[in-house]
Amino acid sequence: MTGVIYWLDMAGVMVFALSGVILACRSRMDPIGMLVLAAVTGIGGGTLRDLVLGVRPVFWVTDPTYLWVIMATVGVSLVGFHYIHRLSRGFLPVADAFGLALFTVIGTHKALMLGTSGVVAVLMGMMTGVAGGMIRDVLAQRVPMVLREEVYATAAIAGGTVYVLLHSLGAPVMLAIGAALLVTLSLRLAAIHWHLALPVFAWVTLPPKPTDDATTPLSTPQKAKERVRMIRRERNKR
């Protein structure tokens, strides 16, 4: 079973590294920039998770294979740069969704194996899934997806919660992994396809209401009011 978890982790590193390479290409970065974005996306979330959980040394120091996978991904991408550059705009969020699902399960599983509570395990899964992408987007001067209205961290929390619940019920590890992957990936892909988004709350200024009350003096100024309103993102029309 440890082997399955390990190869899922490697797959997540590869997918996230590829998403970093794609963003670097679109941001017109040189090969070093591509390597940096691939590395922080591939191992950034897991590194932060291990530091928070007190795991020393972090996973990629113990097993440098993770670094070789990242470098191999960048190397293959440089050879096939022409094809990567022509990928559709929708490929990056889809690749990111697969990486999010894989890393969420890996992070949640590792936290539980270290004896943390269910709540902490869910948070560690979310951190593993979203932190690398946050660093990648910041370096590329983009607003991280987790800070927008995107259904992103929500999908990671849902997947981590499913894993923790099935683990607490004594379900087989493979069943817990498959269910958590399915939930996280389904939510994220559905959000991408149907442009689902969480509502945002913001201060809005309401204009004064017109009044026909004869008792109200005309000289009395009507003040605008500020209220907190829920604003929903408009869906893009296809």
The residue among 187, 39, 21, 41 whose CA lies nearest residue 101 is 187
Say if residue 238's pLDDT is above 50: no
**Which structure tokens are listed for 191?**
């959000």
Q: If you write DSSP's letter for every residue of the chain in order, what string do you get?
A: -HHHHHHHHHHHHHHHHHHHHHHHHHTT--HHHHHHHHHHHHHHHHHHHHHHHT-SS-HHHH-THHHHHHHHHHHHHHHTHHHHHTS-TTHHHHHHHHHHHHHHHHHHHHHHHTT--HHHHHHHHHHHHHHHHHHHHHHTT---GGGSSBSSHHHHHHHHHHHHHHHHTT--HHHHHHHHHHHHHHHHHHHHHHT-B--EEEEEEEPPPP---TTS-TTSPPPPEEEEEEEPPPPPP-
For the chain, domain boundaries: 2-194, 200-231
So what's the pLDDT on residue 87? 77
Strand partners, 25: none
So what's the pLDDT on residue 19? 92
So what's the pLDDT on residue 148? 76
**Which structure tokens are listed for 187?**
């939510």
> Could you give the CA distance from residue 118 to residue 220 in angstroms, rounded to a whole number?
59
Quick one: average pLDDT of 4-30? 93
119: Cβ contacts below 8 Å, ≥ 6 apart: none
**Which structure tokens are listed for 55?**
């795991």
So what's the pLDDT on residue 220? 53
85: Cβ contacts below 8 Å, ≥ 6 apart: 25, 26
The residue among 111, 99, 128, 104 whose CA lies nearest residue 20 is 99
pTM: 0.86
pLDDT digits (tens, 9 = 90+) for 133-159: 999 999 999 988 888 767 999 999 999
Quick one: average pLDDT of 167-184? 96
Quick one: average pLDDT of 70-80? 93
Strand partners, 228: 203
So what's the pLDDT on residue 199? 79
Quick one: average pLDDT of 59-79? 95
